[in-house]
Amino acid sequence: MTAIPIDESDLVARLRAKDDDAFTLLVRTYMGRLLRVARRFLKSEEDARDAVQDAFVSAFKSIDTFKAGSTLATWLHRIVVNSALMRLRTQRRHPEEEIDDLLPKFQADGHQVRDSVDWSESAEEMLAREETREQVRKAIDMLPETHRVILIMRDIEEMTTEEVAAALGITTTAAKVRLHRARQALRTLLDRDFGKEQA
């Protein structure tokens, strides 16, 4: 069954008029994609659903701030990312895990102690396999939260470094450093998995 395209300007006008049917249509149209976004950030299904619910409530309350130059999908995406980040902040009860153990080790001459695994397949070929996607998901989940979140925002959600920095309340330099370290740690984790496959 093909989805019926929605007229965004009409939907926004109806939302601004506090039309309950418009809100139902908004939820029905965007729930699936926003839930996928929330699940990337939050490990609990309940937390992901709560973040999406909070995002919809926030969107409904602040629909008057929606600017016509943007799309509803982009606007809602930003709201659900912020909702997920807020949920992560309120859940943070333990000290941040260190990422250093996951980073590659270097010798005094600058060479890695252990060479990165030479992945014989291209990244596109590997990601095409469901099993590989699952390994990548698990490796991302093993990253400390602050590094996992920045990697998801930048590399999966494709937010700009400036957007990431603003959302996290850090400088763009700090965002770049954290992202670089997250990518290095992810590579180390994936080297372990793919190195075993090739052994």
Rg over alpha carbons for the chain, rounded to the nearest Å, is 20
CATH 1.10.10.10-classified regions of the chain: 100-198
100-198 CATH fold: Arc Repressor Mutant, subunit A (1.10.10)
Quick: pLDDT tens for 109-141.
665 556 655 555 565 565 566 777 788 888 888
The whole-chain average pLDDT of the chain stands at 81
Which residues contact residue 141 at a Cβ distance below 8 angstroms, ignoring those fewer than 6 apart? 43, 148
Predicted local confidence at residue 52, as pLDDT: 95
Location of each CATH 1.10.1740.10 domain in the chain: 8-91
Band (69; pLDDT cuts 50, 70, 90): confident
Q: Alpha-carbon distance 118 to 198, whole Å? A: 9
Q: What per-residue confidence (pLDDT) applies to 199? A: 44
What pLDDT score was predicted for residue 142? 86
Sign of the alpha-carbon torsion through 44, 48, 51, 53: negative
Domain 8-91 has CATH 1.10.1740.10: yes
Residue 11 contacts residue 72 (beta carbons within 8 Å): yes
